[in-house]
């Protein structure tokens, strides 16, 4: 699919991996609706990028009503939705149980709701709009890109909830690709390793360096532009479908 004639919706698009993806798509000539929480930097970001190319649509990805409304706003402005990239998510760490008692069930549920159910909510609603697109020369009507994590495969101590949520994203990628294959909609997932995002920026520098030390090569934190570059390639390569790609510098996470 050609980005210069496409409209994308990027959740979590106001910062981190999402913002980098927004900027990469715009650099290729696409137009983008930034979907993020109302209190995010999304409105200011969209304004700085240009009203003809970007817009902000506030939404909580777990809300059917809010996501539908955001998609309708994108359709009203740009006329179609060809790509949806799911970058919205939360991170948390707590052991299953310990001296303080078991992990609160509400914590586990919240992680699953935002990361896994929120991703599927956007997929199902965005794909419904993609069905209305005319097929291009490859028969494509849309591309769905999700964000998992290497924690889906080698989750660390304290990551039961996070790993479960990201493992669910990996697990649903192929069946969704199969569900939508006759409609010309591809579904893919990126599983990033340890990236230099706003979440990690809050850590002390020694902690950041310790994380980078475990990465074989390149021996550094991942850069959001590298995630965005893979997202661009996934859109532009029509034979990629149903796959989860690790983007991690060959790291395999230790237990802790």
**Is 239 one of the catalytic residues?**
no
- Residue spans of beta strands (DSSP E) within 101-247: 142-147, 185-192, 244-247
Q: Which of 162, 163, 191, 249 is catalytic?
A: 162
- CA triple 55-28-11, angle to 5 deg: 40
d(CA 165, CA 115): 6
Six-digit token string for 214: 């475990």
8 Å CB contact between 221 and 43: no
Element (H, E) at 84: strand 83-86
Contact 54, 43 (CB under 8 A): no
**Phi, psi (5° rounding) for residue 90?**
-130, 155
Residue in 24, 22, 26, 30 with CA at minimum distance from that of residue 3: 30
CB 173 within 8 A of CB 189: yes
Query: What is the radius of gyration, based on Cα positions, of the chain?
Result: 18
User: Which residues form the catalytic set?
Assistant: 162
């Amino acid at each position: 699919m050609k980005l210069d004639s496409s409209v994308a919706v990027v959740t979590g698009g106001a910062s981190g991996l999402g913002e980098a993806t927004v900027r990469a798509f715009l650099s290729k000539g696409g137009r983008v609706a930034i979907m993020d929480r109302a209190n995010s930097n999304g409105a200011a970001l969209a304004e700085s990028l240009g009203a003809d190319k970007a817009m902000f649509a506030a939404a909580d990805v777990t809300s059917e009503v809010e996501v539908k409304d955001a998609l309708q706003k994108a359709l009203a402005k740009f006329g179609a939705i060809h790509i949806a990239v799911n970058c919205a998510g939360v991170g948390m760490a707590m052991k299953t149980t310990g001296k303080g008692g078991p992990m609160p069930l509400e914590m586990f549920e919240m992680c699953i709701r935002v990361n896994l159910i929120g991703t599927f909510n956007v997929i199902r609603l965005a794909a419904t709009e993609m069905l209305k697109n005319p097929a291009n020369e490859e028969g494509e009507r849309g591309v769905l890109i999700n964000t998992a994590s290497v924690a889906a495969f080698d989750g660390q101590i304290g990551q039961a909830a996070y790993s479960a949520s990201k493992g669910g994203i990996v697990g649903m990628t192929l069946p969704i690709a199969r569900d939508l294959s006759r409609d010309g909609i591809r579904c893919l997932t990126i599983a990033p390793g340890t990236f230099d995002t706003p979440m990690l920026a809050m850590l002390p520098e020694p902690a950041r360096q310790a994380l980078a030390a475990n990465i074989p090569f390149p021996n550094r934190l991942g850069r959001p532009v590298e995630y965005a570059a893979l997202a661009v390639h996934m859109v532009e390569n029509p034979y990629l479908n149903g796959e989860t790609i690790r983007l991690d510098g060959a790291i395999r996470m230790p237990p802790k």
